[in-house]
Structure 1
Amino acid sequence: MRVALAVEYDGSGFRGWQQQPGGGTVQDALQEALQQFARVPLHVVCAGRTDAGVHALGQVVHFDTTLERSMYSWVRGANTFLPPAVAVRWAQRVPADFHARSSASSRHYRYVLLNRMHRSGTWHGRVAWHHHPLDLQRMQEAAAMLLGERDFSAFRAAECQAISPVKIMQRADIRRHGDLVVLDFVATAFLHHMVRNLVGSLVAIGQGRHHPQWIGELLASRDRRLAAPTFPAAGLYLIAVNYPARWGLPTDDASDFLSLLPVTGPATAATP
């Protein structure tokens, strides 16, 4: 039997998703919890490997087992043994040819940036911070150039192992909610550090250091050295992994996450 799980986690205290020597990863925590519940080792495969400090509300994994358990039991059992910063949201039996990574049609990442003079103590590790005023109209104009099929080599980390840098960007939205600037990206797949590198360059444009057309120039250059530095992991969330309807997975993508943040004003496209 193949089972899919949706997992959410606060990545602040983990060394990223991927299992590695010395432990301390989200995958380690999840597999240990499943083993304690099932009393046999279980290996999970994820939809997207998140880096150290990156959070997730809708990470999807799958594993194979010969054990007969209800889906409710898998959720309750895993959560009983997981640390407080990790929780399973749902479990679903899936066909044997389902694959958490290769069956996905798109991923939704959100970057949350606190844009005010002083940093936050309460939201340390959960949002990034930038103290210079940002022009959202310039950032939105630049983000529009990311849509469609593009070669994102200029926003690719040197250690990225993806076969191709060409991805299809389906959505690139930027909004302001009070002191928060929220950047949403949906694409077929993402390169290593791609979102954080995009945010760095969009912020440079919003700050007035470059014109909006600079994004197009970076895409054409395919040169990572020309783009802005990588932004911190703290503000990045894997909101959802989307699948074709034929797999029958739940569609609650946790996109209402913004309501959990300390928003202090209506959404607007203009810089206050």
Structure 2
Amino acid sequence: MPVELSHLSAPGPAPAPGDRGTVRLRLDLSYDGTDFHGWATQPGQRTVQGELEEALGRIARVPARITVAGRTDTGVHARGQVCHLDLPRDVLATFPGRSDRSPAEALVTRLAGVLPSDIVVHVAREVDDDFDARFGAQWRRYRYRISDGPAAHDPLRRDVLRHRRPLDVEAMGRASIALLGEHDFLSFCKPREGATTIRELRELRWDRPGEGRADEGLIVATVVADAFCHHMVRSLVGALIGVGEGRRPESWPAQVLAARTRDAATRDGAGSAPMCPPQGLTLDHVAYPPDEELAAWAARARTLRSPLPSAD
């Protein structure tokens, strides 16, 4: 049940960043997204943000509002998610109780006692007010895992897509090369009003780990970009699965990119990319610049890029 905060001590709006009476905390966390309706709080839905803010409210006994590095969709997992929040300094000082732990260490322990088992906060630490989990990120890395045959299917893993047909990993890798770099990824995104679909795709690699390696026998896509627009990773993977099955030529993902359209693809022509299911997708890592560069990087990230010229 969501905690009712109206009766708790020190009610009121969340503290403003930079307020001398507040402390900014960075939380590093993981979650199994199977039973969540995505990250962002939604009325009547179980979400990661909702569960985490409820747990923080119980512990701090003040409303807690979180800013996250990347909002994940329904069913998407995270191993390296990052968020930040601001709490009153006097509230933070109460967390250790009679122990000799730091307030941040005590918060991690107390969160472990109230969060559901499919969310784990690994580390909490005090950071400078210039730290911004969303706009301060330099790049994000996702991994998409696919099992393309019964020998690799594992009923205990909920972070892998079971695929019925074998996939040609080498062909998928060759087809990925043309997508690297800065492009308008409109054909691979569900655009948000007023937001750009221009992104810099830094890495798109396909591997089938061998015996004794992590993810042995699976197909693993590693996708790195400065940022991702809505559904971008799932659409990249969806387009390349068509190549791996042999239904599409290796040139087809590049044609989809060049089309820059939300119209559906035809049998013979390029259109918007098909989107694969969410369960194979995991947010793996979010990278940040050194502390002294945080403010400048966040200001730069808030500046929208100019749109590319219209496609012919």
Into which bin does the TM-score normalised by the smaller protein fall? Answer: 0.7 to 0.9
Residue aligning to 1:113 = 146
Cα distance in 2, alignment partners of residues 119 and 13 from structure 1: 23
- Do 1:162 and 1:191's aligned partners in 2 also have CA atoms closer than 8 Å? no
Structure 2 residue 76 is matched with structure 1 residue 38: no
Structure 2 residue 251 is matched with structure 1 residue 213: yes
Residue aligning to 1:96 = 129
Q: What CA deviation, in whole Å up to 9, does each residue of 1:153-211 have, x standing for no partner?
A: 110125x3561111011111100125310001010000111111111110101111111
Cα distance in 2, alignment partners of residues 175 and 208 from structure 1: 18
- Runs of 5+ consecutive residues of structure 2 not aligned to the other structure: 1-22, 94-102, 210-215, 265-270, 295-312
The structure showing larger relative contact order (alpha-carbon pairs under 8 Å, at least 6 residues apart) is 1
* Matches for 1:43-82 after TM superposition, within 5 Å: 43-66=65-88, 67-69=91-93, 70-82=103-115
Distance 1:242 1:142, change over 3 A: same
Runs of 4+ aligned structure 1 residues displaced above 6 Å come to none
Distance 1:161 1:107, change over 3 A: farther
Displacement after TM superposition at 1:228 (Å): 4.1
Distance 1:235 1:123, change over 3 A: farther
Residue aligning to 1:26 = 48
- Do 2:25 and 2:127's aligned partners in 1 also have CA atoms closer than 8 Å? yes
> Which has the higher Rg, Structure 1 or Structure 2?
2
Q: Give the % identical residues.
A: 40
- Runs of 5+ consecutive residues of structure 1 not aligned to the other structure: 250-272
- Do 1:110 and 1:185's aligned partners in 2 also have CA atoms closer than 8 Å? yes
TM-score if structure 2 supplies the norm length?
0.75
Structure 2 residue 282 is matched with structure 1 residue 237: yes
Cα distance in 1, alignment partners of residues 131 and 118 from structure 2: 27
- Counterpart pick for 1:246 among 291, 295, 302: 291
Residue aligning to 1:269 = none
Structure 2 residue 179 is matched with structure 1 residue 166: no
Residue aligning to 2:242 = 204
- Do 1:8 and 1:87's aligned partners in 2 also have CA atoms closer than 8 Å? yes
Q: Pairwise CA RMSD of aligned residues?
A: 1.9
Residue aligning to 2:302 = none
Structure 2 residue identity aligned to 1:150: H
Q: What CA deviation, in whole Å up to 9, does each residue of 1:210-264 have, x standing for no partner?
A: 1111111111101232244211110000001110022799xxxxxxxxxxxxxxx
Residue aligning to 1:139 = 172
- Do 2:60 and 2:92's aligned partners in 1 also have CA atoms closer than 8 Å? no
Cα distance in 2, alignment partners of residues 37 and 120 from structure 1: 40
Q: How many residues align?
A: 248
Structure 1 residue identity aligned to 2:87: T
Cα distance in 2, alignment partners of residues 238 and 85 from structure 1: 15
TM-score if structure 1 supplies the norm length?
0.86
